[in-house]
Amino acid sequence: MRKYLELPLKLFLITFILGLILGVTYIYTKEPIALQTAAKLQESRNEAYPGCEFTEVDEALWREFVTEDGEYVKEVFEAQKDGQFAGYVVTVLSKGYGGDVELIIGIDTEGLITNVVVGSHNETAGLGANAVKPEFRNQFQGKKSAVLKKDEPDNAEAVDGLTGATITSRAVTRGINKALGLVEKLMEAQG
Amino acid sequence: MNYRKIFLNGITKENPVFRLLLGMCPTLAVTTSATNGIGMGLAATFVLVGSNLVISLIKGFIPEKIRIPSFIVVIATFVTVVQLIMQAFIPSLYESLGLFIPLIVVNCIILQRAEAFASKNKPFASIIDGLGMGLGFTLAITLLASVRELIGNGTLFGLQIMGAAYQPALIFILAPGGFIALGLILALLNLVSAKE
C-alpha cells in the first residue's frame, strides 16, 4: 500500500516544485516581455508610417465601421506628422495558412497605403513566411487597394503574389483591404 | 568514460537524425531553408545540454517507475523557462530562435537522451553528450535543409546560388520534398557505410 502512495506523492512533488519555478519565472519576466512587445509594435507602426506620432483611437469610435467577416481589426492608431493629422495605422489579424497573420498597415489622408508590416505569423518557412520580406510588402506602397496579379491580371494596382503561397498572399491583401475600408469610413465620419 | 568519444558519438555513430532516425517531426518541418536548420539545431542543442544536466543532477530523486512523466515535466518546464527568459531579456535572440522553441518540447531526441544517457551518467558527461547530440542534430538538419533550399529555391542561406535560368523544383521545399530529400541522403549514407 505504501508503495502506491509513494509514487503519486513523488510525482506530485516534482510537478509542484517545477510549477513553482515556472510561476516565479513568469512573474519576473511578465513586465519585461510586455515592454518588449510594446516596443516592437511601436517599431512596426514607425515602419508602417514613418516619421509620425501615434495616438490610439478609442475602439468605440471605430468598431461600428468594421464588418465582422473573417479578418479581425485589433487596433487603430491616429498618425500625426508635424502636429497635423496624417492618417491612420491599423493592426489587422488575417487568416493565413498557419493561423492568424498580423498586419500593421499605414494609410495616409488620401487613402493610399504608406507601407505594410507583417508582424507575428505562423506561415510556412520559405514560402508564406516570405511575406515579411520587403520585396513583397513594399509593392503595396502608394496603392489604394490590394489585389494580386493572379486574381486580376488587368488591374493596374495588382502586385505579385508569393510563390507557392497563394493563401498567405490573399490573407495579406484581404487584411489590407479590410483596413482600407475601415479608414475610408472613419475619415468620412470625421469629415 | 572517454569524453571525446561521448562527444563524437552524437555526431557520427549515433547521429540522431541520420542514424537513430529520431526527431523526424522538427527535421521535416523546419528544414525548408538552411538558416532555419541552423536556428532549430542551435535552439535544440541549448535545450538538450540544459535538460541533460538537470536530469543528471536530479536522477537520484526520480523513482524508476515514474521517470518518463518526470522527464517530460522537467523538459517542458526547462523549455518554457528558457523561452520566457529569452523573450524578456534577449529579444534579438528570441526573434531568430523563438519560432523553434515550442517545437523543441516535442522533440523526442531530448527525451531519448534523458532516458538513455543523462539518467545513467554524471552531470559533466551528460553535458558533453548533449553537446555532441545537439551538434549532430544541427549538422544533419542543416545539411538536409541546404539540399532542399538549393533544389527547391535555388538559394543557400538566402543567397542566390543557381543561375537565373534555373527553374526551382518547388516540391523540395514543400512537405513531400522533405521526405524525398531525407530518403535520398539516408540511402547515400547507408551506401557509404555499407562499403566500409
Burial B87-122 (b: 16+ CB within 10 A, else e): bbeebeebeebbbbbebbbebebbbbbbeebbbebe
Question: Using the beta-carbon criterion (under 8 Å), do A124 and B66 form an inter-chain contact?
Answer: no
Mind telling me how many Å the CA of B171 is from chain A's nearest CA? 10
Eight-class DSSP state of A159: B
Quickly state the pLDDT bin for B30 (edges 50, 70, 90). Answer: confident
Question: Using the beta-carbon criterion (under 8 Å), do B73 and A32 form an inter-chain contact?
Answer: no
DSSP three-state, residue B119: coil
Nearest chain A residue (CA) to B36: A125
Query: pLDDT by residue for chain A (191 residues), tens digit each?
Result: 777 888 889 889 999 999 999 999 999 999 999 998 888 888 889 988 988 888 888 888 888 887 777 788 888 898 888 888 888 999 999 998 888 999 999 999 888 999 999 988 888 766 788 888 888 998 988 888 888 888 888 888 888 888 878 899 999 999 999 889 888 888 888 76
Question: Using the beta-carbon criterion (under 8 Å), do A25 and B84 form an inter-chain contact?
Answer: yes
Interface probe, candidates B62, B77, B85, B93, chain A, greatest A C-beta count within 10 A: B77
Query: What is the total residue count of chain A?
Result: 191
- Per-residue model confidence (pLDDT) at position B138: 93
Angle at B112 between CA B181 and CA B136, to 5 degrees: 45
Nearest chain A residue (CA) to B158: A126
What grid cell was written down for A12? 506530485
Q: In whole angstroms, what is the distance from residue A158 CA to residue A166 CA? A: 14
pLDDT digits (tens, 9 = 90+) for B129-187: 999 999 999 999 999 999 998 888 888 887 888 777 788 787 888 888 899 999 999 99
How many residue pairs bridge chain A and chain B with CB atoms within 8 Å of each other? 65
Q: Strand pairing partners for A75?
A: A91
Spell out the residues 6+ positions from residue B117 whose beta carbon is closer than 8 angstroms to its own.
B52, B125, B126, B129
Interface probe, candidates A20, A30, A33, A123, chain B, greatest B C-beta count within 10 A: A33
- Per-residue model confidence (pLDDT) at position B75: 87
Q: In whole angstroms, what is the distance from residue B22 CA to residue B25 CA? A: 9
B66: chain A residues, CB-CB within 8 Å? 7, 10-11
Question: Using the beta-carbon criterion (under 8 Å), do A7 and B65 form an inter-chain contact?
Answer: yes
Per the CB < 8 A criterion, the answer to whether A147 and A158 are in contact is: yes
Structural domain spans, chain B: 3-146
- Per-residue model confidence (pLDDT) at position A190: 76
CB nearest to B80's CB, from A15, A22, A163? A22
Helix axes B34-58, B123-153, angle to 10 degrees: 160
Structural domain spans, chain A: 47-190
- Per-residue model confidence (pLDDT) at position A152: 84
- Per-residue model confidence (pLDDT) at position B1: 61
**Average per-residue pLDDT for chain B:** 86
B32: chain A residues, CB-CB within 8 Å? 124-127
Per the CB < 8 A criterion, the answer to whether B32 and B145 are in contact is: yes
pLDDT digits (tens, 9 = 90+) for B64-100: 888 888 888 888 888 888 888 888 888 877 877 777 7
Mind telling me how many Å the CA of A120 is from chain B's nearest CA? 10
Chain A residues bordering chain B (beta-carbon distance below 8 Å): 6-7, 10-11, 14-15, 18-19, 21-22, 25-26, 28-29, 32-33, 36, 40, 124-127, 163-164
